[in-house]
Amino acid sequence: MKVGFIGAGKVGCSLGNYFIQNGIPVAGFYSRTQASASEAAEQCNTAHIDKIDKMLTMCDVLFLTVPDDAIAEVWKQVKAFPIQGKYICHCSGSLSSAVLSGIEETGAYGYSIHPMFPFKNKKTAYGDLKQALFTVEGGQDHMDTIMDLLRPCKNRLIPIQKEDKARYHAAAVYASNLMVGLIGRSVKILETCGFDREEALCALKPLAVQNLQNIFESGIENALTGPVERHDFGTVKKHLQVLNKQEKDIYTVLTQEIIQTAETKHPDISYADMKQLLEEEK
């Protein structure tokens, strides 16, 4: 089965390169700007295709690798052409295949295929894609076919239900985008202590990187350290006294979360006093 892409940004270019690297044939790229389609085609050593109907004659599977808010509009253009038997896929983490409205009447098959991966740029991101999990959501009748298409990549593939897409995506945001927010807030707090931005990032890097490594190597409970884990009530209280309102809100919610982890790790310790302290700070 041959794959085509509408959209030549970070996701489209990365997936195109990755598919080719793993022996999945790519017909080419179409984009609203010819320059970006040409660049992607050159990068992937494939074709720049200047019309959607031409793309559809050249591929069996069409990936709509455009921003989430553009998927419905691009789909409207695609379904104006004969697409019976084609597989139409988008790569949104939060949207389900339902965004491909009316696809059943066209005779095509709709899927959302989401790599759980941060695409930082279009030229090199594909090199690390082998580490990513792919979720696949869509019609059950042809699920095996779309899974077989992806299997040469050797990634772990997890089928997911349509109604779970938004919640699944929120989980991914917790582990990626919100992590950026947490580090950004840590940097700002250190800046109030006299650090400059570069010094703050250098100070936090070994702490953050090692902690993440511990989580994924040893498990969440075993990785937990710090004042909550050792039931250091006085230190937690002192933190709450020196943080501003916004910082305190973030700290309180996340500390309530890690208290649950601490209780699992140390069932013999009562964290009731910490829970009460946090409730009083709300």
Instruction: Quote the number of domains for the chain.
Output: 2
What's the longest Cα–Cα distance across the chain? 69
Residue 55: helix, strand or coil by DSSP? helix
Among residues 113, 130, 162, the one where a domain terminates is: 162
Q: Are residues 183 and 90 in the same domain?
A: no
Mean pLDDT, all residues of the chain: 94
Among residues 162, 195, 228, the one where a domain terminates is: 162
**Is 91 among the domain residues?**
yes
Angle subtended at Cα 52 by Cα 34 and Cα 143, rounded to the nearest 5 degrees: 120
pLDDT digits (tens, 9 = 90+) for 120-155: 877 766 778 898 999 999 999 999 999 999 999 999
**Is 136 among the domain residues?**
yes
> For residue 111, what pLDDT is reported?
97
**Is 169 among the domain residues?**
no
Q: Are residues 46 and 154 in the same domain?
A: yes
Q: Are residues 232 and 93 in the same domain?
A: no
Range of the domain at 246: 175-281
Q: Are residues 32 and 155 in the same domain?
A: yes
Q: Are residues 13 and 139 in the same domain?
A: yes
> For residue 120, what pLDDT is reported?
81
Q: Are residues 202 and 238 in the same domain?
A: yes
**Is 167 among the domain residues?**
no
SS3 content of the chain, % helix, strand, coil (to 5): 60, 15, 30
Residue 92: helix, strand or coil by DSSP? coil
| Three-state SS annotation for 56-81 | HHHCCEEEECCCHHHHHHHHHHHCCC
Q: Are residues 135 and 262 in the same domain?
A: no
Q: Are residues 83 and 46 in the same domain?
A: yes
**Is 228 among the domain residues?**
yes
**Phi and psi at residue 115, in whole multiples of 5°?**
-80, 125
Q: Are residues 235 and 185 in the same domain?
A: yes
Distance separating alpha carbons of residues 148 and 96, to the nearest angstrom? 20
Q: Are residues 56 and 181 in the same domain?
A: no
Among residues 162, 190, 218, the one where a domain terminates is: 162
Q: Are residues 65 and 158 in the same domain?
A: yes
Domain CATH code at residue 226? 1.10.1040
Q: Are residues 14 and 125 in the same domain?
A: yes
**Is 168 among the domain residues?**
no
**Is 170 among the domain residues?**
no
Q: Walk along the chain (282 residues) and give the pLDDT tens digit of each residue.
A: 899 999 988 999 999 999 999 999 999 999 888 888 888 888 888 988 989 999 999 999 999 999 999 999 999 999 999 999 999 999 999 999 999 999 999 999 999 999 999 888 777 667 788 989 999 999 999 999 999 999 999 999 999 999 999 999 999 999 999 999 999 999 999 999 999 999 999 999 999 999 999 999 999 999 999 999 999 999 999 999 999 999 999 999 999 999 999 999 999 999 999 999 999 987
Domain CATH code at residue 61? 3.40.50.720
